Amino acid sequence: MDAVCNGPELQYREKIRAVADALRAHKGPIFVVSHVDPDGDAIGSSLGLYRALRALGKEAFWIAEPPRYLRFLVREEEYTGPLERLPEGALLVVLDAAEPGRVAGAPVEGFVVNIDHHGTNPRFGCLAVVDPSKAATAQMVKDLVDALGVVWTPEIATPVLTGIITDTGNFRFANTTPEVLHTAAELVGYGVPLAELTDRLQWRPASYFRALGAVLSTVAFHFGGLLVTAHLPPGVQVEDSDDFVGLIRYAEGSQIAVFLREREEGIKLSIRSRGGVSAQAVAVSLGGGGHVPAAGATLRGVGLEEAYQRVLAAVEEELRRTGYL
Amino acid sequence: MDAVCNGPELQYREKIRAVADALRAHKGPIFVVSHVDPDGDAIGSSLGLYRALRALGKEAFWIAEPPRYLRFLVREEEYTGPLERLPEGALLVVLDAAEPGRVAGAPVEGFVVNIDHHGTNPRFGCLAVVDPSKAATAQMVKDLVDALGVVWTPEIATPVLTGIITDTGNFRFANTTPEVLHTAAELVGYGVPLAELTDRLQWRPASYFRALGAVLSTVAFHFGGLLVTAHLPPGVQVEDSDDFVGLIRYAEGSQIAVFLREREEGIKLSIRSRGGVSAQAVAVSLGGGGHVPAAGATLRGVGLEEAYQRVLAAVEEELRRTGYL
């Protein structure tokens, strides 16, 4: 094991092969986990690998608490509760977790395999395969399942494709490379019912439609339509997965969208931008962070009205910096 | 020409090759048109083929009136106004038009090439390539451009991919086959800026958000949530492209969704279903038609309230027939 742990930085394919070799050689139980607040890629990549390991005859366990909207992917008998300790001789596979502190369901101890596409991942664990060029950790699991030589079934392919779909915004984001689309084609060819899957991934409870209606009544345009804002009116219930900024950002001609939501810790801002305007710059100026096109911040100790004023000031500065104003 | 017109039913690839041969051999002007009320596939497939023909050095013209949300694809100098007669020696390529009466912008006369994926197409024209197994006519244009030997550029690939994206619901519908995804991968590889394209295709005017908010205030559930309905409140302005039934159909647990809209000719119904329930059966029972998962009807001479009553009665019958009630 030490040779593997301390070996040179192998190339991606070699690393995937090394992980496949380690998993195939392992005699004890294998626990597959992901990160806290799991999204489609966390659930999809871990569930897909778990099922592939089971198909190989491995003593594999899947520890995860999927959000309600992803539970349709899982059968009741596939759940294993969280563990405080791992048994002797266990191997832990951690998927899509950008840091050890974000790992959910099991302690990061013993022989740890770390597979992730977040560039900030500190490469923890014995065997770490971190490739930020991949759109989703599920894309890496696709390669790992191939390397394991497991025969693809719809059972395995469906969660893997789910991870790719959710992390690419259903093939909409800039990470949707030709490789992603070829992989998706291959997985659909293995029998994933794509239309049913994408249908199911979009189901929303009745409360969502009420909340969205309430949110839309707050939509406002500023700076001649360059900024669109909306907020969640007090008392309206939503799920954490409800992506309202992802809707208002499509206001025609807008270069930046900000959604405000009151939370216990303050006013939470979700910011999206395009056309050279930086959501990140606005977020950073308000004490938050993120990526250029998608960022966020939390304003503590202020009410909604003051939050709006701060947002408008920060956005105005960014629109001036980028020459829109 | 007669040999081509009267030749045997050639296989799809051979037909595409025959069309490519005819286009390459043609010395006069070539007019590329599509159908009335053009959608993304009509505009995308015709604009893509027009640009490919121009790249070949052909005297090609594109006649179309794209809806506002698709005009970003087109440069000003690419528009040619509608023609009442075609000049002598002209060749007319008709794309995505299910019948001659739906062709827009030019008379269906002279040497007509008919390329379409609607199974009901009566195979009009001299050379007809009709393949209902294709997700989009744009998919067929992809094959035709390959057969023409035109070097792919982002200029040509972008409208072609647009047709595929819009006719597959951005890779969501059941027509999203592995072939579709491989083709999309190839087109993205030719330099289509996918993220920008899908972003632009989702832009909506400010009026959309107001209309959607108003529509959501009418969302109602019936038969224990199996049916979800909504309508456009009187006086609210929308564009024809605004797809509200496409949103409410994702109500969790619903098997059928009906959206009602008052029009001059009556109450127009848009119906969507899943899980064995037939939108088509409901539409037919109300005097309309369509496909099993997506259908529509127009109720003439009734008000909104009576329209709702008829919808509820028709849906109840279908839910009983399918065992949900």
| Interface contact flag, A170 B170, Cβ < 8 Å | yes
Mutating which of A199, A204, A273 best tests the B interface, going by the most B Cβ atoms within 10 A?
A199
**For residue B30, is pLDDT > 50?**
yes
**For residue B8, is pLDDT > 70?**
no
C-alpha atoms less than 13 angstroms from C-alpha of A320 in its C-beta half-sphere = 6
**For residue A4, is pLDDT > 80?**
no
Phi and psi, residue B240, nearest 5°? -60, -25
Place of tokens 């009420």: A210
Residues A186 and A224 in one domain: no
**For residue B145, is pLDDT > 90?**
yes
Residues B34 and B152 in one domain: yes
pLDDT digits (tens, 9 = 90+) for A295-324: 999 999 999 999 999 999 999 999 999 999
pLDDT digits (tens, 9 = 90+) for A53-62: 999 999 999 9
**For residue B322, is pLDDT > 90?**
yes
pLDDT at residue B240, as a whole number: 66
**For residue A8, is pLDDT > 80?**
no
**Is B243's Cβ below 8 Å from some Cβ in A?**
no
Mean pLDDT of A89-110: 96
**Is A72's Cβ below 8 Å from some Cβ in B?**
no
Under a CB-based contact definition with an 8 Å cutoff, are residues B301 and B273 in contact?
no
pLDDT digits (tens, 9 = 90+) for B41-80: 999 999 999 999 999 999 999 999 999 999 999 999 999 9
Question: Residue B277 gets which letter from DSSP?
Answer: -
pLDDT digits (tens, 9 = 90+) for A81-96: 999 999 999 999 999 9
Grouping H, G, I as helix, E, B as strand and the rest as coil, residue B324 is coil
| Interface contact flag, B195 A174, Cβ < 8 Å | yes
Residues A33 and A122 in one domain: yes
Grouping H, G, I as helix, E, B as strand and the rest as coil, residue B179 is helix
Mean pLDDT of A40-44: 98
**Is A181's Cβ below 8 Å from some Cβ in B?**
yes
pLDDT at residue A238, as a whole number: 84
Of A201, A221, A245, the one marking the end of a domain is A201
Comparing CA positions, the residue from B16, B283, B12, B42 lying closest to residue B132 is B12
User: Percent of chain B beyond pLDDT 70?
Assistant: 96
Under a CB-based contact definition with an 8 Å cutoff, are residues B266 and B260 in contact?
no
In chain B, what residues touch A250 (CB-CB under 8 Å)?
Answer: 199, 202-204
Of A143, A178, A201, the one marking the end of a domain is A201
User: Percent of chain A beyond pLDDT 70?
Assistant: 96
Which ranges constitute the DSSP H helices of A205-303?
206-216, 245-248, 279-285
The span from the CA of B91 to the CA of B83, in Å, is 13
**Is B72's Cβ below 8 Å from some Cβ in A?**
no
Residue A315 amino acid letter: V
Under a CB-based contact definition with an 8 Å cutoff, are residues B29 and B87 in contact?
yes
Whichever domain contains A194, its CATH number is 3.90.1640.10
Question: Residue A197 gets which letter from DSSP?
Answer: H
Q: State chain B's mean pLDDT as an integer.
A: 94
Residues B167 and B253 in one domain: no
Percent of chain B that is helix, strand, coil (3-state, to 5): 40, 20, 40
pLDDT at residue A241, as a whole number: 67
User: Which band of pLDDT confidence, cut at 50, 70 and 90, is reported for residue A121?
Assistant: very high
| Interface contact flag, A216 B219, Cβ < 8 Å | no
| Interface contact flag, A172 B248, Cβ < 8 Å | no
Residues B122 and B212 in one domain: no
- Residue B262 belongs to what H/E stretch? strand B256-263
pLDDT at residue A322, as a whole number: 97
pLDDT digits (tens, 9 = 90+) for B86-103: 999 999 999 999 999 999
Comparing CA positions, the residue from A185, A180, A99, A169 lying closest to residue A135 is A180
Mark A240-276 as b/e (b = at least 16 C-beta within 10 Å): eebebbebbbbbbebbbbbbbbbeeebbbbbbbbbee
Mark B127-164 as b/e (b = at least 16 C-beta within 10 Å): bbbbbeebbbbbbbbbbbbebbebebeebbbbbbbbbb
User: Which band of pLDDT confidence, cut at 50, 70 and 90, is reported for residue A265?
Assistant: confident
pLDDT at residue A240, as a whole number: 66
pLDDT at residue A279, as a whole number: 97
Residues B88 and B162 in one domain: yes
Residues B188 and B221 in one domain: no
| Interface contact flag, B188 A176, Cβ < 8 Å | yes
Residues B60 and B187 in one domain: yes
In chain B, what residues touch A174 (CB-CB under 8 Å)?
Answer: 194-195
Residues A211 and A188 in one domain: no
Residues A159 and A273 in one domain: no
| Interface contact flag, B250 A202, Cβ < 8 Å | yes
Comparing CA positions, the residue from B84, B321, B194 lying closest to residue A171 is B194
**Is B181's Cβ below 8 Å from some Cβ in A?**
yes
| Interface contact flag, A184 B188, Cβ < 8 Å | no
The span from the CA of A4 to the CA of B103, in Å, is 66
User: Which band of pLDDT confidence, cut at 50, 70 and 90, is reported for residue B11?
Assistant: confident
The span from the CA of B70 to the CA of A46, in Å, is 40
Mean pLDDT of A121-125: 95
pLDDT at residue B194, as a whole number: 97
Under a CB-based contact definition with an 8 Å cutoff, are residues B92 and B111 in contact?
yes
Of A201, A229, A253, the one marking the end of a domain is A201
pLDDT at residue B1, as a whole number: 41
Q: State chain A's mean pLDDT as an integer.
A: 94
Comparing CA positions, the residue from A151, B224, B240 lying closest to residue B232 is B240
Residues A138 and A218 in one domain: no
Mutating which of A218, A219, A252, A277 best tests the B interface, going by the most B Cβ atoms within 10 A?
A252
pLDDT at residue B238, as a whole number: 84
**Is A239's Cβ below 8 Å from some Cβ in B?**
no
The span from the CA of A255 to the CA of A229, in Å, is 11
**For residue B7, is pLDDT > 70?**
no
pLDDT at residue B2, as a whole number: 41
In chain B, what residues touch A253 (CB-CB under 8 Å)?
Answer: 203
The span from the CA of A174 to the CA of A180, in Å, is 11
Mean pLDDT of B26-37: 96
Phi and psi, residue B222, nearest 5°? -135, 160
**For residue A100, is pLDDT > 70?**
yes
pLDDT digits (tens, 9 = 90+) for B209-258: 999 999 999 999 999 999 999 999 988 988 766 789 999 999 999 999 99
**For residue B5, is pLDDT > 60?**
no
Mean pLDDT of B150-160: 98
Q: What total number of domains does chain A contain?
A: 2
Range of the domain at A56: 2-201
Residues A190 and A292 in one domain: no
Q: Which of A186, A199, A250 sits opposite B204 (nearest CB)?
A: A250
Whichever domain contains B235, its CATH number is 3.10.310.30
Mean pLDDT of A100-118: 96
Give the closest-approach CA distance of A272 to chain B in angstroms: 12
Token code pair at residue A115:
């597979």
